[in-house]
Amino acid sequence: MPADGFRALLAVWPRLPAEEVDIDQAVGRCLAADVAAPEDLPPAPRACMDGYAVQARDLFGASESLPAYLELAGSVAIQRPPDFLLEPGTCAAITTGGWLPAGADAVAMVEHTQDVGGGTVEFRKPLAPFENVMLQGEDASAGSPALTAGTRLRAPQIGLLAALGLPRASVGRLPRVAILSTGDELVPAHEAPPPGRIRDVNAHALAAMCREAGALPTRLGIVPDETPALSSALSSALAEYDVVLLSGGSSVGARDCTVAAIGNVPGAQLLVHGVAVSPGKPAILARSGDKAIVGLPGQVTSAQVVMHVFILPFLRHLAGRRDAFAPVRGRPAVLARNVASRHGREDWLRVSLEERPGDPPGQPPLAHPRLGKSGLLRTLLQADGMVVVPASREGLNAGEAVEVLPLSGGENA
């Protein structure tokens, strides 16, 4: 299947149901529905800084050489609204956050004023109406959406919810991910492998990537390359988890075992068996109800590239992220050497960046392809990011402008 077709299948998968959580636990989560503001925020015009509330027209033409003078009508207490009307020719002392008295429409910075005594204040700068004022409803207007569904909640959004008196939020549930390692050659990472066997790397690396993307992974151990054992493990995992990642099955025989095991799961449907992407061609996708089964290559680099390119966006999509599959903007760079590719296959190059100080300043870095075997971690360890060769191209040329996409799992940045 073409890589874009694989993305299209993942992008329309039903999102997980919503759950309500305290806003202190909602950081990084995605809103499941629009949030309407229950009130105006600010609830009334407020001062942006310390100074004097004034009528802007009273300071028309004021300057250092020709200041304006206003009479002090009172002070605004920060903890309660003012109870007086500001008349023309007068001002009121106000602190940041104070409500403007009726009649005032601007705030003069205290740095541009001078108390000359006798209840008179000198102003040395003109003001426009509403200058240095937070207007009523400027952050949020009562009844209007303050935040839209799919918004990822960070500190500013959490602060807005708190300011609106909304201590809980409805967010998409985090995906529960089961990780099954398959292969008779595998032993747990804490064991010393006997000759011919290797430690299970993928289970730990994939779990780490899931956590970076906000999902909740659980490693369920190593399953032999036997269809009955794998079918049983799959059925058990699907009963509890939203996504099951099968790590392994790069060999033809093992892939056949995975496909056969999926076929033995009641209601499971095989959707994809092979994707036109490199590395990662052996990827498998199946569906059981609204739950996903993803077969990843056993080679460590291939598995992690498939995770970066397809599965991490999928996990963010399940959790309610509306832009999970939107194109990602990378860091501009210039390719350091020619790279060949096969037409019709999307290639993901691991690259390291070399800064180029000197003239002209600010020129983009060189992107050096880190080519190597997919069973080695070296190309990922040395990489600063990845560059995609589109399926429509037969390679990229040295000196060509490219975008280096991040390898972080935390953002579809």
Give pTM, 2 decimals: 0.86
Together in a domain, 150 and 187: no
Q: Which of 317, 32, 314, 27 is nearest to 171 (CA)?
A: 32
Does residue 325 lie within any of the structural domains? no
For the chain, which residues score pLDDT lower than 50?
Answer: 250, 410-413
Measured CA distances, 369 to 119, 332, 355 (Å): 73, 15, 15
The pLDDT, as a whole number, for residue 412 is 43
Which pLDDT value is given to residue 379?
82
pLDDT of amino acid 125: 96
Residues 128 and 64 in one domain: yes
Each residue's pLDDT tens digit, 224-274:
888 999 999 999 999 999 999 998 754 555 656 888 999 999 999 999 999
Residue 413: predicted pLDDT: 40
Q: Which pLDDT score is estimated for 223?
A: 92
Scan for tokens 């280096």, then name that residue: 404
DSSP 301: H
Q: Is 78:100 a contact under the CB 8 Å cutoff?
A: no
* Predicted pLDDT of residue 380: 87
Domain that holds residue 121: 46-134
pLDDT at 252: 54
88/95 Cα distance (integer angstroms): 20
Q: Do residues 25 and 68 share a domain?
A: no
Burial of 219 by CB count in 10 Å (0-12 exposed, 13-18 middle, 19+ buried)? buried
Contact (CB, 8 A) for 28 and 214: yes
Q: What is the pLDDT of residue 328?
A: 84
201 shares its domain with 271: yes
Is 157 in the same domain as 92? Answer: no
